[in-house]
Structure 1
Amino acid sequence: MYDTYLFDVDGTLLDTNELILNSFEYVLKKYFPARTYDRKDLVQFTGPTLIQSFSALNPEHAEQMVIDYRKYNLEHHDEMVKIFPNVELTLEQLKQDGKQLSVVSSKKNDVVMRGLKLFNIDQYFDIVIGADDVEKHKPEPEPLLKALQFYNEPNYAIMIGDNSHDIDGAKNAGIDSVGVAWSLRGRDFIAALQPTYVIDDMKELLNLRK
Protein backbone atom coordinates (compact mmCIF):
# COMPACT_ATOMS: atom_id res chain seq x y z
CA MET A 1 0.00 0.00 0.00
CA TYR A 2 2.82 2.41 0.87
CA ASP A 3 6.24 2.57 -0.71
CA THR A 4 7.76 5.48 1.23
CA TYR A 5 7.90 5.79 5.02
CA LEU A 6 8.91 9.00 6.79
CA PHE A 7 9.84 8.55 10.46
CA ASP A 8 10.10 11.00 13.30
CA VAL A 9 12.85 10.03 15.77
CA ASP A 10 12.21 11.25 19.32
CA GLY A 11 9.32 9.37 20.88
CA THR A 12 8.81 7.33 17.71
CA LEU A 13 11.92 5.31 16.92
CA LEU A 14 13.93 6.18 20.01
CA ASP A 15 12.79 6.57 23.58
CA THR A 16 14.36 9.92 24.41
CA ASN A 17 11.52 10.91 26.71
CA GLU A 18 13.42 10.99 30.00
CA LEU A 19 16.42 12.65 28.39
CA ILE A 20 14.25 15.39 26.92
CA LEU A 21 12.27 15.99 30.10
CA ASN A 22 15.43 16.04 32.21
CA SER A 23 17.05 18.49 29.79
CA PHE A 24 14.08 20.85 29.97
CA GLU A 25 13.98 20.53 33.74
CA TYR A 26 17.67 21.40 34.00
CA VAL A 27 17.29 24.56 31.90
CA LEU A 28 14.08 25.70 33.58
CA LYS A 29 15.55 25.30 37.06
CA LYS A 30 18.54 27.35 35.96
CA TYR A 31 16.51 30.25 34.56
CA PHE A 32 13.43 30.05 36.77
CA PRO A 33 14.70 28.74 40.14
CA ALA A 34 11.65 29.98 42.02
CA ARG A 35 9.22 28.04 39.85
CA THR A 36 8.27 24.39 40.11
CA TYR A 37 7.63 22.34 36.98
CA ASP A 38 6.07 18.89 37.19
CA ARG A 39 6.16 16.23 34.47
CA LYS A 40 2.91 17.46 32.92
CA ASP A 41 4.37 20.95 32.60
CA LEU A 42 7.50 19.63 30.91
CA VAL A 43 5.62 17.47 28.42
CA GLN A 44 4.01 20.54 26.86
CA PHE A 45 7.43 21.64 25.57
CA THR A 46 7.87 18.51 23.45
CA GLY A 47 7.06 18.80 19.76
CA PRO A 48 8.02 22.38 18.82
CA THR A 49 11.62 23.30 18.08
CA LEU A 50 13.74 24.31 21.06
CA ILE A 51 13.88 27.94 20.04
CA GLN A 52 10.09 28.03 19.77
CA SER A 53 9.64 26.50 23.22
CA PHE A 54 12.15 28.73 24.97
CA SER A 55 11.13 31.89 23.13
CA ALA A 56 7.64 31.46 24.53
CA LEU A 57 9.13 31.45 28.03
CA ASN A 58 11.93 33.97 27.81
CA PRO A 59 12.54 35.62 24.42
CA GLU A 60 15.56 37.55 25.70
CA HIS A 61 17.50 34.46 26.78
CA ALA A 62 15.98 31.87 24.43
CA GLU A 63 19.12 31.32 22.37
CA GLN A 64 21.29 30.75 25.44
CA MET A 65 18.65 28.44 26.87
CA VAL A 66 18.88 26.35 23.70
CA ILE A 67 22.67 26.18 24.10
CA ASP A 68 22.33 25.08 27.73
CA TYR A 69 19.71 22.49 26.80
CA ARG A 70 21.85 20.98 24.06
CA LYS A 71 24.93 20.85 26.27
CA TYR A 72 23.09 18.95 29.00
CA ASN A 73 21.31 16.76 26.46
CA LEU A 74 24.52 15.70 24.70
CA GLU A 75 26.32 15.01 27.96
CA HIS A 76 23.60 12.54 29.01
CA HIS A 77 22.48 11.31 25.59
CA ASP A 78 24.06 7.89 25.27
CA GLU A 79 23.27 6.77 28.81
CA MET A 80 19.60 7.71 28.69
CA VAL A 81 18.39 6.98 25.15
CA LYS A 82 16.72 3.64 24.40
CA ILE A 83 15.20 2.11 21.29
CA PHE A 84 11.51 1.23 21.31
CA PRO A 85 10.49 -2.44 20.96
CA ASN A 86 10.44 -3.95 17.46
CA VAL A 87 11.80 -0.82 15.78
CA GLU A 88 14.85 -2.47 14.24
CA LEU A 89 12.90 -5.59 13.29
CA THR A 90 10.33 -3.46 11.47
CA LEU A 91 12.88 -1.26 9.70
CA GLU A 92 14.83 -4.29 8.56
CA GLN A 93 11.72 -6.00 7.18
CA LEU A 94 10.50 -2.88 5.39
CA LYS A 95 13.91 -2.43 3.81
CA GLN A 96 14.01 -6.06 2.72
CA ASP A 97 10.65 -5.50 1.06
CA GLY A 98 12.13 -2.67 -0.99
CA LYS A 99 10.44 0.18 0.86
CA GLN A 100 11.94 3.67 0.92
CA LEU A 101 12.71 4.88 4.45
CA SER A 102 13.56 8.41 5.56
CA VAL A 103 13.86 10.35 8.79
CA VAL A 104 12.13 13.71 9.21
CA SER A 105 13.04 15.34 12.51
CA SER A 106 13.07 18.82 14.02
CA LYS A 107 16.36 18.09 15.81
CA LYS A 108 19.76 19.16 14.58
CA ASN A 109 21.19 16.65 12.14
CA ASP A 110 24.24 15.66 14.18
CA VAL A 111 22.10 14.76 17.20
CA VAL A 112 19.67 12.79 15.04
CA MET A 113 22.53 10.81 13.54
CA ARG A 114 24.06 10.21 16.96
CA GLY A 115 20.87 8.55 18.13
CA LEU A 116 20.44 6.47 14.98
CA LYS A 117 24.07 5.32 15.02
CA LEU A 118 23.87 4.47 18.72
CA PHE A 119 21.54 1.61 17.83
CA ASN A 120 22.93 0.97 14.35
CA ILE A 121 19.66 1.81 12.62
CA ASP A 122 21.06 4.61 10.47
CA GLN A 123 21.78 1.93 7.86
CA TYR A 124 18.08 1.59 7.04
CA PHE A 125 17.48 5.19 5.98
CA ASP A 126 18.05 6.67 2.54
CA ILE A 127 18.02 10.25 3.77
CA VAL A 128 17.79 12.17 7.04
CA ILE A 129 16.06 15.55 7.07
CA GLY A 130 16.84 17.50 10.22
CA ALA A 131 16.60 21.04 11.52
CA ASP A 132 19.67 22.08 9.53
CA ASP A 133 18.04 21.20 6.21
CA VAL A 134 14.95 23.41 6.25
CA GLU A 135 13.79 26.89 7.12
CA LYS A 136 10.32 25.87 8.25
CA HIS A 137 9.84 22.90 10.55
CA LYS A 138 6.94 20.53 11.15
CA PRO A 139 3.98 21.05 11.09
CA GLU A 140 4.93 23.01 7.99
CA PRO A 141 5.17 20.59 5.06
CA GLU A 142 8.67 21.68 3.96
CA PRO A 143 10.70 18.93 5.70
CA LEU A 144 8.34 16.17 4.58
CA LEU A 145 8.25 17.42 1.01
CA LYS A 146 12.04 17.70 0.97
CA ALA A 147 12.33 14.06 1.99
CA LEU A 148 9.86 13.04 -0.71
CA GLN A 149 11.76 15.04 -3.33
CA PHE A 150 14.74 12.77 -2.73
CA TYR A 151 12.82 10.00 -4.46
CA ASN A 152 11.94 10.32 -8.12
CA GLU A 153 8.32 9.26 -7.85
CA PRO A 154 7.12 8.28 -4.38
CA ASN A 155 3.67 6.90 -5.11
CA TYR A 156 2.29 6.30 -1.64
CA ALA A 157 3.99 7.95 1.31
CA ILE A 158 3.17 7.93 5.01
CA MET A 159 4.52 9.80 8.05
CA ILE A 160 5.02 8.02 11.37
CA GLY A 161 5.21 10.15 14.51
CA ASP A 162 4.24 10.73 18.11
CA ASN A 163 3.17 14.35 18.20
CA SER A 164 0.82 16.87 16.64
CA HIS A 165 3.63 18.33 14.55
CA ASP A 166 4.07 14.97 12.82
CA ILE A 167 0.40 14.33 12.16
CA ASP A 168 -0.38 17.90 11.11
CA GLY A 169 2.78 17.99 9.03
CA ALA A 170 1.57 14.93 7.13
CA LYS A 171 -1.83 16.52 6.54
CA ASN A 172 -0.18 19.71 5.29
CA ALA A 173 2.02 17.68 2.95
CA GLY A 174 -0.98 15.77 1.63
CA ILE A 175 0.08 12.32 2.82
CA ASP A 176 -1.26 9.73 5.26
CA SER A 177 0.00 9.41 8.82
CA VAL A 178 0.51 6.94 11.64
CA GLY A 179 0.30 8.02 15.26
CA VAL A 180 2.20 5.85 17.72
CA ALA A 181 0.32 4.98 20.90
CA TRP A 182 3.53 5.05 22.96
CA SER A 183 3.57 8.83 22.57
CA LEU A 184 4.68 10.58 25.74
CA ARG A 185 1.28 12.27 25.80
CA GLY A 186 -0.61 8.99 25.57
CA ARG A 187 -2.79 7.08 23.14
CA ASP A 188 -5.86 9.28 23.58
CA PHE A 189 -3.84 12.37 22.70
CA ILE A 190 -2.44 10.89 19.51
CA ALA A 191 -5.80 9.40 18.47
CA ALA A 192 -7.51 12.77 18.94
CA LEU A 193 -5.21 14.22 16.27
CA GLN A 194 -6.96 11.92 13.78
CA PRO A 195 -4.00 10.30 12.06
CA THR A 196 -4.84 7.81 9.33
CA TYR A 197 -3.82 4.99 11.67
CA VAL A 198 -2.87 4.52 15.31
CA ILE A 199 -0.54 1.65 16.18
CA ASP A 200 0.37 0.12 19.53
CA ASP A 201 3.55 -1.60 18.35
CA MET A 202 5.96 -0.61 15.59
CA LYS A 203 5.66 -4.00 13.91
CA GLU A 204 2.03 -3.16 13.09
CA LEU A 205 3.47 -1.03 10.29
CA LEU A 206 4.16 -4.27 8.46
CA ASN A 207 0.41 -4.74 8.06
CA LEU A 208 0.32 -1.63 5.85
CA ARG A 209 2.82 -2.89 3.29
CA LYS A 210 0.30 -4.27 0.83
Structure 2
Amino acid sequence: MLNLKSFGSNPTPLDAVIIDLDGTMVDTLGDFAEALNRMLGDLELPPIAAQHIERMVGKGSEHLLRSVLNHVLEHMGKAPTAIEIEALYAHAWPSYQRHYLAINGHYARVYPGVEAGLQALRHAGLRLACLTNKPTSFALPLLRAKGLEGYFEQVFGGDSFDKKKPDPLPLLKTCEALQTAPARTLMVGDSSNDAQAARAAGCPVVLVTYGYNHGLPAQAVDADGYVASLELLLA
Protein backbone atom coordinates (compact mmCIF):
# COMPACT_ATOMS: atom_id res chain seq x y z
CA MET A 1 0.00 0.00 0.00
CA LEU A 2 1.05 3.57 -0.63
CA ASN A 3 1.60 5.70 2.45
CA LEU A 4 2.46 9.31 2.98
CA LYS A 5 5.62 8.89 5.03
CA SER A 6 7.70 10.11 2.09
CA PHE A 7 5.79 13.40 2.24
CA GLY A 8 6.52 14.04 5.90
CA SER A 9 3.10 13.23 7.34
CA ASN A 10 2.03 10.37 9.60
CA PRO A 11 2.29 7.04 7.77
CA THR A 12 -1.24 6.37 6.51
CA PRO A 13 -1.93 3.39 4.26
CA LEU A 14 -4.00 4.29 1.26
CA ASP A 15 -6.49 2.31 -0.79
CA ALA A 16 -7.27 4.75 -3.60
CA VAL A 17 -6.12 7.88 -5.38
CA ILE A 18 -8.32 10.63 -6.83
CA ILE A 19 -6.53 12.62 -9.53
CA ASP A 20 -7.39 16.01 -11.02
CA LEU A 21 -7.19 16.49 -14.81
CA ASP A 22 -6.29 20.00 -16.05
CA GLY A 23 -2.87 21.07 -14.83
CA THR A 24 -2.30 17.71 -13.12
CA MET A 25 -2.39 15.09 -15.87
CA VAL A 26 -2.87 17.16 -19.01
CA ASP A 27 -1.66 20.64 -19.95
CA THR A 28 -4.85 21.95 -21.56
CA LEU A 29 -3.95 25.63 -21.70
CA GLY A 30 -3.63 25.47 -25.49
CA ASP A 31 -7.13 24.00 -25.78
CA PHE A 32 -8.56 26.68 -23.53
CA ALA A 33 -6.89 29.48 -25.47
CA GLU A 34 -8.03 28.16 -28.86
CA ALA A 35 -11.65 27.53 -27.85
CA LEU A 36 -11.97 30.78 -25.87
CA ASN A 37 -10.55 32.92 -28.65
CA ARG A 38 -12.82 31.29 -31.21
CA MET A 39 -15.70 32.07 -28.86
CA LEU A 40 -14.58 35.68 -28.44
CA GLY A 41 -14.39 35.98 -32.21
CA ASP A 42 -18.00 34.82 -32.46
CA LEU A 43 -18.94 37.55 -29.97
CA GLU A 44 -16.89 40.13 -31.92
CA LEU A 45 -14.62 40.67 -28.94
CA PRO A 46 -10.80 40.87 -28.94
CA PRO A 47 -8.71 37.78 -28.08
CA ILE A 48 -7.19 36.99 -24.71
CA ALA A 49 -3.59 35.88 -24.13
CA ALA A 50 -2.86 32.43 -22.70
CA GLN A 51 -1.02 33.82 -19.66
CA HIS A 52 -4.22 35.51 -18.49
CA ILE A 53 -6.29 32.36 -19.03
CA GLU A 54 -3.89 30.31 -16.90
CA ARG A 55 -4.84 32.26 -13.78
CA MET A 56 -8.56 31.67 -14.40
CA VAL A 57 -8.48 27.88 -14.86
CA GLY A 58 -9.57 25.48 -12.15
CA LYS A 59 -13.02 26.49 -10.94
CA GLY A 60 -15.08 25.12 -13.81
CA SER A 61 -16.02 26.31 -17.28
CA GLU A 62 -18.73 28.65 -16.05
CA HIS A 63 -16.29 30.56 -13.86
CA LEU A 64 -13.70 30.55 -16.64
CA LEU A 65 -16.04 32.06 -19.22
CA ARG A 66 -17.30 34.78 -16.89
CA SER A 67 -13.73 35.64 -15.88
CA VAL A 68 -12.63 35.84 -19.51
CA LEU A 69 -15.57 38.03 -20.51
CA ASN A 70 -14.97 40.36 -17.58
CA HIS A 71 -11.22 40.57 -18.35
CA VAL A 72 -11.74 41.32 -22.04
CA LEU A 73 -14.36 43.98 -21.42
CA GLU A 74 -12.25 45.67 -18.75
CA HIS A 75 -9.29 45.78 -21.14
CA MET A 76 -11.56 47.44 -23.67
CA GLY A 77 -12.02 50.23 -21.13
CA LYS A 78 -15.45 49.13 -20.00
CA ALA A 79 -16.72 48.39 -16.49
CA PRO A 80 -19.18 45.56 -17.10
CA THR A 81 -22.02 44.94 -14.67
CA ALA A 82 -23.03 41.47 -13.56
CA ILE A 83 -26.14 41.77 -15.72
CA GLU A 84 -24.03 42.58 -18.80
CA ILE A 85 -21.72 39.65 -18.14
CA GLU A 86 -24.67 37.27 -17.79
CA ALA A 87 -26.21 38.54 -21.02
CA LEU A 88 -22.95 37.86 -22.85
CA TYR A 89 -22.51 34.53 -21.08
CA ALA A 90 -25.81 33.30 -22.51
CA HIS A 91 -24.27 33.58 -25.99
CA ALA A 92 -20.73 32.65 -24.94
CA TRP A 93 -21.49 29.25 -23.41
CA PRO A 94 -22.99 27.50 -26.48
CA SER A 95 -20.23 28.98 -28.66
CA TYR A 96 -17.50 27.85 -26.26
CA GLN A 97 -18.99 24.38 -25.90
CA ARG A 98 -19.13 23.93 -29.67
CA HIS A 99 -15.56 25.09 -30.21
CA TYR A 100 -14.11 23.20 -27.26
CA LEU A 101 -15.65 19.90 -28.31
CA ALA A 102 -14.32 20.46 -31.84
CA ILE A 103 -10.69 20.93 -30.72
CA ASN A 104 -10.68 18.98 -27.42
CA GLY A 105 -7.17 17.60 -26.93
CA HIS A 106 -5.75 18.97 -30.19
CA TYR A 107 -3.72 21.66 -28.44
CA ALA A 108 -3.13 19.75 -25.18
CA ARG A 109 -0.33 17.46 -24.01
CA VAL A 110 0.05 14.86 -21.30
CA TYR A 111 2.62 15.95 -18.74
CA PRO A 112 5.85 13.90 -18.51
CA GLY A 113 5.63 11.04 -16.04
CA VAL A 114 1.82 10.86 -15.96
CA GLU A 115 1.38 7.52 -17.70
CA ALA A 116 4.27 5.94 -15.81
CA GLY A 117 2.82 7.26 -12.56
CA LEU A 118 -0.66 5.93 -13.32
CA GLN A 119 0.76 2.55 -14.27
CA ALA A 120 2.73 2.40 -11.01
CA LEU A 121 -0.32 3.31 -8.93
CA ARG A 122 -2.41 0.64 -10.62
CA HIS A 123 0.40 -1.89 -10.24
CA ALA A 124 0.47 -1.07 -6.50
CA GLY A 125 -3.17 -2.16 -6.29
CA LEU A 126 -4.64 1.30 -5.76
CA ARG A 127 -8.08 2.17 -7.09
CA LEU A 128 -8.07 5.27 -9.28
CA ALA A 129 -10.66 7.95 -10.03
CA CYS A 130 -10.40 11.16 -12.04
CA LEU A 131 -12.19 14.13 -10.50
CA THR A 132 -12.19 17.43 -12.37
CA ASN A 133 -14.19 20.65 -12.41
CA LYS A 134 -14.24 20.34 -16.21
CA PRO A 135 -17.65 19.29 -17.60
CA THR A 136 -17.87 15.52 -17.99
CA SER A 137 -18.65 15.91 -21.69
CA PHE A 138 -15.23 17.59 -22.07
CA ALA A 139 -13.28 15.38 -19.63
CA LEU A 140 -14.15 11.93 -21.00
CA PRO A 141 -13.22 12.65 -24.64
CA LEU A 142 -9.97 14.29 -23.50
CA LEU A 143 -8.95 11.29 -21.38
CA ARG A 144 -9.87 8.99 -24.25
CA ALA A 145 -7.91 11.05 -26.80
CA LYS A 146 -4.82 11.03 -24.60
CA GLY A 147 -5.02 7.30 -23.82
CA LEU A 148 -5.68 7.84 -20.11
CA GLU A 149 -9.31 6.79 -19.70
CA GLY A 150 -8.56 3.11 -19.10
CA TYR A 151 -6.63 3.80 -15.91
CA PHE A 152 -9.71 5.03 -14.03
CA GLU A 153 -12.60 3.15 -12.45
CA GLN A 154 -14.57 6.37 -12.16
CA VAL A 155 -14.49 9.73 -13.95
CA PHE A 156 -16.46 12.64 -12.50
CA GLY A 157 -16.72 16.16 -13.91
CA GLY A 158 -17.81 19.51 -12.57
CA ASP A 159 -21.41 18.72 -13.50
CA SER A 160 -21.47 15.31 -11.79
CA PHE A 161 -22.48 16.68 -8.40
CA ASP A 162 -24.34 19.65 -6.98
CA LYS A 163 -21.09 21.42 -6.08
CA LYS A 164 -17.56 21.68 -7.45
CA LYS A 165 -14.15 21.70 -5.80
CA PRO A 166 -13.11 23.42 -3.50
CA ASP A 167 -16.31 22.15 -1.87
CA PRO A 168 -15.65 18.72 -0.32
CA LEU A 169 -18.81 17.14 -1.77
CA PRO A 170 -17.21 15.89 -5.02
CA LEU A 171 -14.41 14.16 -3.08
CA LEU A 172 -16.83 12.59 -0.62
CA LYS A 173 -19.04 11.36 -3.46
CA THR A 174 -16.01 9.98 -5.31
CA CYS A 175 -14.87 8.12 -2.19
CA GLU A 176 -18.38 6.74 -1.89
CA ALA A 177 -18.26 5.53 -5.50
CA LEU A 178 -14.86 3.91 -4.89
CA GLN A 179 -16.09 2.49 -1.57
CA THR A 180 -13.04 3.86 0.21
CA ALA A 181 -12.69 5.96 3.35
CA PRO A 182 -11.61 9.59 2.81
CA ALA A 183 -8.67 9.18 5.23
CA ARG A 184 -7.37 6.34 3.03
CA THR A 185 -7.98 8.14 -0.29
CA LEU A 186 -5.28 10.46 -1.60
CA MET A 187 -6.22 13.56 -3.61
CA VAL A 188 -3.62 14.56 -6.22
CA GLY A 189 -4.09 17.95 -7.84
CA ASP A 190 -2.39 21.15 -8.88
CA SER A 191 -4.26 23.91 -7.06
CA SER A 192 -5.74 25.29 -3.89
CA ASN A 193 -9.14 24.04 -5.08
CA ASP A 194 -7.93 20.46 -4.80
CA ALA A 195 -6.20 21.03 -1.48
CA GLN A 196 -9.10 22.85 0.16
CA ALA A 197 -11.57 20.23 -0.99
CA ALA A 198 -9.33 17.45 0.30
CA ARG A 199 -8.78 19.07 3.68
CA ALA A 200 -12.54 19.61 4.15
CA ALA A 201 -13.32 16.03 3.05
CA GLY A 202 -10.69 14.51 5.33
CA CYS A 203 -8.52 13.23 2.46
CA PRO A 204 -4.72 13.54 2.40
CA VAL A 205 -3.53 15.69 -0.50
CA VAL A 206 -0.41 16.00 -2.64
CA LEU A 207 0.04 18.74 -5.24
CA VAL A 208 2.10 18.70 -8.42
CA THR A 209 4.41 21.68 -8.77
CA TYR A 210 3.98 22.28 -12.51
CA GLY A 211 0.25 23.02 -12.72
CA TYR A 212 -1.84 26.17 -12.86
CA ASN A 213 -2.96 27.03 -9.29
CA HIS A 214 -4.31 30.41 -10.42
CA GLY A 215 -0.79 31.57 -11.26
CA LEU A 216 0.60 30.98 -7.74
CA PRO A 217 3.23 28.43 -6.59
CA ALA A 218 1.73 25.13 -5.45
CA GLN A 219 4.14 25.11 -2.50
CA ALA A 220 2.26 28.10 -1.06
CA VAL A 221 -0.79 25.89 -0.56
CA ASP A 222 -1.34 23.77 2.56
CA ALA A 223 -0.82 20.15 1.46
CA ASP A 224 0.78 16.93 2.68
CA GLY A 225 3.39 16.97 -0.06
CA TYR A 226 4.48 18.26 -3.45
CA VAL A 227 5.85 16.33 -6.42
CA ALA A 228 7.40 17.37 -9.71
CA SER A 229 5.95 14.30 -11.46
CA LEU A 230 3.28 11.68 -10.81
CA GLU A 231 6.06 9.10 -11.07
CA LEU A 232 7.42 10.41 -7.77
CA LEU A 233 4.29 9.53 -5.78
CA LEU A 234 5.69 6.05 -5.23
CA ALA A 235 9.36 7.05 -5.10
Q: How does the TM-score come out when normalised to structure 1?
A: 0.87
Equivalent position of 2:30 in the other structure: 18
Distance apart, 1:94 and its partner CA: 1.0
Shift of 1:96: 1.5
Closer/same/farther in 2, CA of residues 173 and 42 from structure 1, 3 Å limit: same
Counterpart amino acid of residue 136 in structure 2: N
Aligned to 2:146: 119
Higher-Rg structure is 2
For the pair 1:174 / 2:199, whether they are aligned, the reply is: no
Amino acid across the alignment from 1:47 = G
CA contact (8 A) 1:102 1:127 kept: yes
Which residue pairs with 1:91 in the alignment? 118
Separation in 2, partners of 1:68, 1:123: 30
Structure 2, unmatched stretches of 5+, are 4-13, 71-84
Moved over 4 A (4+): 185-188
Among 31, 36, 59, which residue is 1:48 paired with?
A: 59
Separation in 2 of the partners of 1:85 and 1:41?
24
1:8 aligns with 2:51: no
Cα pair distance change 1:44/1:188, threshold 3 Å: closer
Q: Distance in 2 between matches of 1:190 and 1:25?
A: 27
The aligned length equals 206
Range with greater deviation from structure 2 (42-51 or 187-196) = 187-196
Does structure 1 conserve the Cα–Cα contact (< 8 Å) formed by 2:18 and 2:188? yes
- Checking the alignment, whether the CA contact within 8 Å between 1:163 and 1:190 is kept in structure 2 is yes
Q: CA RMSD in A?
A: 2.2
TM-score by structure 2 length?
0.79
Contact 2:104–2:138, Cα closer than 8 Å, also in 1? no
